[in-house]
Amino acid sequence: MHFHIMTLFPEMVLGGLHTSIIGRAEEKGYISIEAVNIRDYTLDKHKKVDDYPYGGGAGMLMQVQPVYDCWKALNGRIARRRDDENNNGNIRVIYVTPQGEVFNQKKAVELSKEEDLIFLCGHYEGIDERVLEEIVTDYISIGDYVLTGGELPAMVMIDAIARLVPGVLNNGESAQTESHADGLLEYPQYSRPEVWHDKKVPDVLLSGHHANIEKWRLEQALDRTRTRRPDLYEAYITAHPPKPPQNKKKRN
């Protein structure tokens, strides 16, 4: 899977993503990450990429020309790599913005199936609406708060998406049992030592009885979700209503 980030701060994005698990996945070729500097595409002789908003108001806006030309060049390169000269915009372009739908694990799973994803990071007070209308396919936020730019949200999303790409995590199973994978928070986990600060690892985990361990973990996951995230718990219970107790057949 190939991630492409349109940004005014390529070094910020690459510095953050070239380390740890994501960096290793890139070295091994499971994913690639490139950052393209929007400023490289400005036709302004002073390399300016922003201007005042019509109608007044605080701050500056990123202008249409550098953003559009940057996307056009990038989209063309991707199309050529895919050997698809007629690719007119079927590569998804995600504008990271507090005005988008809120990102979650379901969205991460959906996006992890794409071959290429373009992230457009805004700065200043945003981007001229006209270029957004022409190139953006998805408007996505990472939460109901405002950051100074789109780079951190893009990095958050790329991390969450990349770890779902086959091969990126060593242990394929952990992406399936972790929090949010099935709509529940993950159960508590314990490692050695067996006793620490007078706290003992729950007996069932030492029992070797796999069915009981699974049952205990599900109970813990339900309990944790109910207390910490009642909104998720309600959604889970609605989708998985508890089975009514089985009536034992009366013998005649």
Binding site for ligand ADE (CB under 6 A): 96-98, 141-143, 145-147, 150, 153
Q: How far is the CB of 182 from ligand ADE (least distance, A)?
A: 25
Q: Which is nearer to ligand ADE, 23 or 98 (CB)?
A: 98
Rounded to the nearest whole angstrom, what is the least distance from the CB of residue 4 to ligand ADE in the complex?
Answer: 17
Nearer to ligand ADE, 147 or 213 (CB): 147
Residue 151 C-beta: closest distance to ligand ADE, Å: 9
Q: Which is nearer to ligand ADE, 25 or 127 (CB)?
A: 127
Q: Please list the residues that pair with 199 across neighbouring strands.
A: 196
- Rounded distance, CA 153 to CA 106, Å? 17
Give the C-alpha separation, 51 to 58, whole Å. Answer: 11
Task: Show the beta-strand stretches assigned E in the chain.
Answer: 2-7, 32-37, 50-51, 61-62, 92-102, 116-121, 138-141, 195-196, 199-200
60 vs 147 by CB, closer to ligand ADE: 147
Peptide bond into 10 cis (omega under 30): no
Shortest distance (Å) from residue 198 CB to ligand ADE: 42
**Minimal CB distance residue for ligand ADE:** 153
Nearest approach, Cβ of residue 139 and ligand ADE (Å): 9
Minimum CB separation from ligand ADE for residue 210, in Å?
Answer: 41
Please answer whether residues 71 and 120 qualify as being in contact, where contact means their C-beta atoms are separated by less than 8 angstroms.
yes
Residue 57 token pair: 């108001």
Please check whether residue 48 is in contact with residue 40, taking contact to mean a CB–CB distance below 8 angstroms.
no
Residue 208 C-beta-side C-alpha neighbours within 13 Å: 0
10 or 79, CB closer to ligand ADE?
10
User: Is beta strand 61-62 parallel, antiparallel or unpaired with respect to 199-200?
Assistant: unpaired
Return the structure tokens found at 191.
């490692």
Residue 142 Cβ vs ligand ADE, minimum distance, rounded to whole Å: 4
Q: Do 49 and 38 meet the contact criterion of CB atoms below 8 Å apart? A: yes
Q: Which is nearer to ligand ADE, 57 or 76 (CB)?
A: 57
In the bound state with ligand ADE, the residue whose beta carbon lies nearer, of 95 and 187, is 95
- Angle CA 72–16–177, to nearest 5: 100
